[in-house]
Amino acid sequence: MIVSGPRSVTQDLRLGNVCLAFARFAICFTVSLVAAPAANEMVSPQIKPSPGDDLFANESVLRIHVEMRPQELQSLREESRRYVRSTISAEGKVYRDVGIHLKGSTGSFRGVDDKPALTLDFSRFVNGQKFHQLRKIHLNNSVEDPSYVNEKLGSELFRAVGMPAPRVGHALVELNGRQLGLYVLKEGFTEDFLGRYFKRVDGNLYDTDWGHDVDERMKRLLGRGPDDDQRDLKAVAKAAREPGLSRRWQRLTDVLDIDRFFTFMTLEVMICHRDGYSLARNNFRIYDDPETKKMVFFPHGMDQLFGKSDLPWKPRMAGIVAQSLMETSEGRLRYETRFTTLFTNLFIVDRLTNRVNQIVASLRPYLEKQEFKAVEREAAEVRERIVRREFDLRKQLSQRDPALLDFKEGIASLAGWTKVDEPAGGNMDETTTPEGVRALRIVAGSKTSASWRTTLRLGRGHYRFEGQTRISSVTPLPFGKNQGAGLRVADKTLKAINFTGSSNWKKLAVEFQVDRVEEDVELVCELRASAGQAWFDKDSLRLAKSSSDQGDRLDHAPDP
């Protein structure tokens, strides 16, 4: 009964039959890869023809010519996000008065005179004008992914398990006769996109706005009616903030597509989408489905994947909804079950690395020899990261959950420090100073945000993380509130770090609260600087716990 019948895994997921969907998925995933579309995408068969099918049906690289008048170029120099008119030529067709603006965030944004990322809205100024039946496409410059592979692979993985995600291709772009080179082409979040996954496309579609989550105002991309109160977002935020865990679970299931959210969350963690919703409250969209009256999260901005192979499979979540679900016993069980199911049936190294090879091979006919070699080298690194991630996840999943940290007279020594984001032009090592101090050292490069970290399981209570730190010629970065060397606790609200210049050994300490019965907490010895060095005395790094009520201060703890 499970394997018969006409429905696909995607259809089961849409209808909410998640147990059935994953049983079918485990059986038919291999078939869906072998009997894939012409482009060899790792996705379930489509239910119905959709706008843009012909654009993404094969892996050809489009040649797109963009023409803008001098006044439009100047407008984009002054206001990069404001639409101006352009003329687009592709495949022998000319599209006039196409809306165009620049896109990209801190790492990927480039000006119009460089290699800009672009949004093209074909119906912005000409009602009904479309490109391959699509209203909007994005041309991403992929400056943070020189392999040009991650976005496409990530999208295919999400769509393989029925999650809404934009289709992805490639294009060679020319701007006013200037060759800009290879781009990643993505479909836009429009009614065309929504129609592939939902019966109704008249719901509210929200975009994160500078790190805003469901408890803050978000940018509405689509929707009908007034946008004054955003009550659908407020309902999710209120459910997530419900203090009673059993009641919280029920309230979230009332307003959130729970099954899809667990698939969304586990896959973000599995592929190390560290700049997504679950881990960074960034790069996501939310749709209020008027058919089910529940909110659905979509992935976005997947140009940096698999980058931290040892990322814990149960990390500290940053997104409010992810956090709140993982604090419930039902949520933790659902997450663990979904993660192991997806890891077993989706994260198959040979298939993933072969898919990378296929994507790269499709680019060969369109690139110059040296350009293709550069892409090929970067893609080899992506394949290696996939292999390392699978190895680390398999190792993690075979281990027992850590025990609560053991305290003796309210004090616990700390160990298990690992490097995170070792700086280019600098280095990190464990060393012994001339005076015999065993230390964790960070030597800054020109743009350093590096740290030594360890993760502990703690019970409810009030804690102080402390240790001795020495710095030499530490120069702050030109941005960010945290500067220099310091101690902090990941994802806890603490005062800003500002320890710069040069200083002999100085005791630093931060206090924090754990409100859950048990919680995995990440302690951080950090250096944010453009030059200089920092040493953290390993033997002095320790955690003190209040011996009285959890709200008490920790002034009684003796110095090391």
- Assigned token pair, 369: 């020899």
535: left (phi over 0), alpha (psi -120 to 50) or beta: beta
Distance CA 372, CA 367 (A): 6
Domain regions of the chain by residue span: 1-35, 53-187, 203-347, 411-545
Distance CA 512, CA 493 (A): 8
What average pLDDT does range 61-69 have in this prediction? 97
Q: Give the chain's mean pLDDT.
A: 88
Distance CA 221, CA 223 (A): 7
pLDDT in tens, 273-289: 999 999 999 999 999 99
- The pTM of this model reads 0.77
- What's the CATH fold of domain 411-545? Jelly Rolls (2.60.120)
- Assigned token pair, 423: 């700086």
What average pLDDT does range 226-232 have in this prediction? 84
Cα 531 to Cα 448, 474, 508, 534, distances in angstroms: 8, 6, 21, 10
Which amino acid, one-letter code, is at 359?
A: I
Lowest mean pLDDT among 16-30, 238-252, 427-441, 525-539: 16-30
Q: Which of 465, 457, 462, 555 is nearest to 515 (CA)?
A: 462
pLDDT in tens, 124-137: 999 999 999 999 99
Sign of CA dihedral 486, 487, 491, 493: negative
Question: How big is the CA angle at 416 (ends 411 and 420), to the nearest 5 degrees?
Answer: 120
Task: List the beta bridge partners of residue 222.
Answer: 205
Report pLDDT for 33.
37
Sign of CA dihedral 123, 125, 127, 129: negative
With beta carbons less than 8 A apart as the criterion, state whether 138 and 169 touch.
Answer: no
3-state secondary structure 491-525: CCCCCCCEECEEEEEEEEEEEEEEEEEEEEEEEEE
Query: Residue 391: pLDDT above 50?
Result: yes
Distance CA 43, CA 40 (A): 9
For the chain, the distance separating the N- and C-terminal CA atoms, rounded to the nearest angstrom, is 66
What average pLDDT does range 436-463 have in this prediction? 94
Tell me which of 208 and 551 has the higher pLDDT. 208
Report pLDDT for 482.
78
What average pLDDT does range 526-533 have in this prediction? 96
Report pLDDT for 43.
59
Task: List the beta bridge partners of residue 529.
Answer: 448
Query: Residue 153: pLDDT above 70?
Result: yes
With beta carbons less than 8 A apart as the criterion, state whether 454 and 416 touch.
Answer: yes
Q: Could you identify the residue written with the tokens 């679900």?
A: 325
Report pLDDT for 548.
60
- The residues, any chain, with a CB within 8 Å of residue 164's CB and separated by 6 or more, are 158, 193, 194, 196, 197, 287, 296, 298
